[in-house]
Amino acid sequence: MFEIVERQEMAQGTVVSNWVKAPKIAKKAKPGQFVILRANEKGERIPLTMADTDPAKGLINIIYQVVGKSTALFKTLKVGDGYLDVIGPLGQPTHLDKVGKVVCVGGGTGVAVVHPITRGLKQVGNQVFAVIGARNKDLLILEDQMRAASHELMVCTDDGSYGHHGFVTDMLKKVLTEHQDIALAVCIGPVPMMKFCCKMTKEFGVKTLVSLNPIMVDGTGMCGCCRVTVGGKRKFACVDGPEFDGHETDFEELTARLKGYLDLEKVSYDEFKAAHGSGKCSCCS
Ligand code: NAD
Ligand code: FES
């Protein structure tokens, strides 16, 4: 069992942070890599990019949004409980090169993914601008951590309840306009956000990395489930990614493939919500 040693609810309980004992993974993991977790033997395998690691304590930090049955099951796990399996580190680490000025953009729970990359890009000597956004102030996560990980942080909310009133793309445009020498953008969040960030950075001629989140099963390149198209070529996000050149990514295909099981996911989540607490669901039985 991979024990949860610290647990925090964020964004009004819709997002949960767990520090999990996984010493071998904590020692090897690099920014941009992910793990696949399973709550119990009947559980679904869920890929999550590590938001942080503490190799000295043998801990990894995962932050997930509660969106369906499996993440709702994860949310039932308290400090002292654990995940049955945690496999990783998986995927290719981010290339943390010194390129000069960079801008890192995180939307919603994508902030958890962009955080270690932002910190890593600062540590190797880049000047790092960061932009984070959420629908409203209560849903914003990791503001203090992103401020520490960057040289300048811009915060946006869709409803104007905190920071700039608008999408992260507004602040991205401001940074790109004011700093014509930005060498790299890293944009991570919901697919429409990544798509529109890339459209903008393409106009400014700035190389852009995105982190793709297709449905995954094995996480080792065997099942083909995480297939994405980048530069007209078939890639597997679990072994070739999860980061790819955003200007080459087929976001329409990714969007379509992510919708493939929405109906079944809804049925499964509704059944879980109805059964949970009655002794009949997989976490209570
Ligand atoms: P959200 O929908 O609340 O959006 C977060 C922010 O992204 C918004 O505040 C806005 O600033 C920006 N944004 C959203 N749509 C935009 C658009 N059309 N144009 C410009 N900016 C836009 O985010 P959420 O509910 O936290 O996101 C959940 C989604 O993100 C899920 O689908 C999840 O799978 C995905 N996600 C992806 C990754 C990844 O690795 N790419 C990581 C975490 C979550
Ligand atoms: Fe199976 Fe990537 S998850 S090939």
User: 66: domain CATH number?
Assistant: 2.40.30.10
Same domain, 82 and 120: no
Confidence at residue 128, expressed as pLDDT on a 0 to 100 scale = 98
Q: Which atom of ligand 2 is nearest to the CA of 222?
A: 4
The residue to mutate among 168, 173, 211, having the most atoms of ligand 1 within 8 angstroms of its beta carbon, is 168
The structure's pTM equals 0.93
**Cα of 231 from ligand 1 centre, angstroms:** 23
User: 209: domain CATH number?
Assistant: 3.40.50.80
Same domain, 238 and 155: yes
Cα maximum dimension of the chain: 59
Domain of 186 in residue numbering reads as 101-258
Q: Is the CB of 108 under 6 A from ligand 1?
A: yes
Same domain, 214 and 157: yes
Does 241 reside within a domain?
A: yes
Written as tens digits, the pLDDT of the chain (285 aa) is 999 999 999 999 999 999 999 999 999 999 999 999 999 988 889 999 999 999 999 999 999 999 888 899 999 999 999 999 999 999 999 999 999 999 999 999 999 999 999 999 999 999 999 999 999 999 999 999 999 999 999 999 999 999 999 999 999 999 999 999 999 999 999 999 999 999 999 999 999 999 999 999 999 999 999 999 999 999 999 999 999 999 999 999 999 999 887 888 888 888 888 887 665 665 654
Does 285 reside within a domain?
A: no
Same domain, 235 and 126: yes
Place of tokens 């999408």: 167
**Cα of 222 from ligand 2 centre, angstroms:** 6
Does 43 reside within a domain?
A: yes
Same domain, 61 and 85: yes
Confidence at residue 181, expressed as pLDDT on a 0 to 100 scale = 96
- Among protein residues, the one with the nearest Cα to ligand 1's atom 43 is 110
The CA distance from 74 to 72, in Å, is 5
Same domain, 253 and 149: yes
Confidence at residue 166, expressed as pLDDT on a 0 to 100 scale = 97
DSSP code for 138:
G
Confidence at residue 281, expressed as pLDDT on a 0 to 100 scale = 61
pLDDT tens by residue, 152-166: 999 999 999 999 999
Confidence at residue 277, expressed as pLDDT on a 0 to 100 scale = 66
Same domain, 123 and 226: yes
Domain boundary (90, 114, 130) is at 90
The CA distance from 70 to 138, in Å, is 23
Q: Which atom of ligand 2 is nearest to the CA of 219?
A: 3
Number of domains in the chain: 2
CA distances from 214 to 4, 83, 89, 111 (A): 26, 22, 17, 17
Closest to 242 (Cα-Cα) out of 34, 72, 44, 82: 34
The CA distance from 64 to 70, in Å, is 11
CA distances from 108 to 59, 69, 170, 187 (A): 24, 20, 15, 12
**Cα of 190 from ligand 1 centre, angstroms:** 3
Same domain, 196 and 135: yes
Does 279 reside within a domain?
A: no
Same domain, 38 and 9: yes
Confidence at residue 237, expressed as pLDDT on a 0 to 100 scale = 96
Same domain, 69 and 153: no
Ligand lying nearest the CA atom of residue 237: 2
Same domain, 38 and 76: yes
Q: Which DSSP string do the residues of 159-217 spell out, in sequence order?
A: TSSSSEES-HHHHHHHHHHH-TTEEEEEEESSHHHHHHHHHHHHHHT-EEEEE-----S
* Both tokens assigned to 241: 């990614």
- Among protein residues, the one with the nearest Cα to ligand 2's atom 1 is 223
Does 95 reside within a domain?
A: no
Same domain, 128 and 40: no
* Both tokens assigned to 200: 């903008």
Q: Is the CB of 193 under 6 A from ligand 1?
A: yes
Q: Is the CB of 246 under 6 A from ligand 1?
A: no
Q: Is the CB of 212 under 6 A from ligand 2?
A: no
**Cα of 25 from ligand 2 centre, angstroms:** 19
Does 15 reside within a domain?
A: yes
Domain boundary (38, 62, 90) is at 90
Confidence at residue 279, expressed as pLDDT on a 0 to 100 scale = 59
Does 263 reside within a domain?
A: no
pLDDT tens by residue, 250-284: 999 999 999 887 888 888 888 888 887 665 665 65
> How many other C-beta atoms are found inside a 10 Å radius of the C-beta of residue 172?
28
The CA distance from 100 to 112, in Å, is 23
Q: Is the CB of 190 under 6 A from ligand 1?
A: yes
Does 269 reside within a domain?
A: no
* Both tokens assigned to 134: 């959420």
Confidence at residue 284, expressed as pLDDT on a 0 to 100 scale = 53
CB 193 within 8 A of CB 166: no
The residue to mutate among 46, 213, 223, having the most atoms of ligand 2 within 8 angstroms of its beta carbon, is 223
